[in-house]
Amino acid sequence: MTDASLDTFPKLLMRHAQERGERPAIREKDLGIWQTWTWRRFADEVRALAAALAAEGFRRGEHIALIGDNRPRIYAGICAAVFPKRRNRSGNCSPETLWPTSATATSSNRRCT
């Protein structure tokens, strides 16, 4: 894959997972202890979430709201939502992130259309 073809975050993520698999990609502090996600672990999480979205019936062009804290898993969810559609993965959904502290996260009956 040439640098010019690395035009989306999922493509770049998969390249990093292939070339830098066991190197640190992202860190988070959980209960006071730093946890490290490798590029391979992050890519595996994205693949698993993309497959789960597809299994739940999400398809290209649909909207999805992700609610969560500023943690690696929410970024994996964003990436999974836009992951290229392939092998029954959902792909190309439009993710909207809602943080627990945002006003929209506490609004009732809010729908993405």
pLDDT per residue rounded down to tens, the chain (113 residues): 567 777 777 788 889 999 999 999 999 988 999 999 999 999 999 989 888 888 888 877 778 888 877 788 888 888 888 776 554 444 566 666 666 665 554 444 444 43
Question: Could you say which DSSP state residue 106 is in?
Answer: H
**Per-residue tokens: 43:** 């890519």
**What distance in Å separates the CA atoms of residue 91 and residue 59, rounded to the nearest whole number?**
7
Domain ranges (residues) in the chain: 3-103
pTM: 0.72
Query: What length does the chain have?
Result: 113
- Cα angle 76, 82, 86 (rounded to 5 degrees) comes to 105
- Residue pair 51/88 in contact (Cβ under 8 Å)? The answer is yes
So what CATH class is 3-103? alpha beta
Q: Give pLDDT, residue 82.
A: 79
Residue type, 33: I
Q: Give pLDDT, residue 107.
A: 44
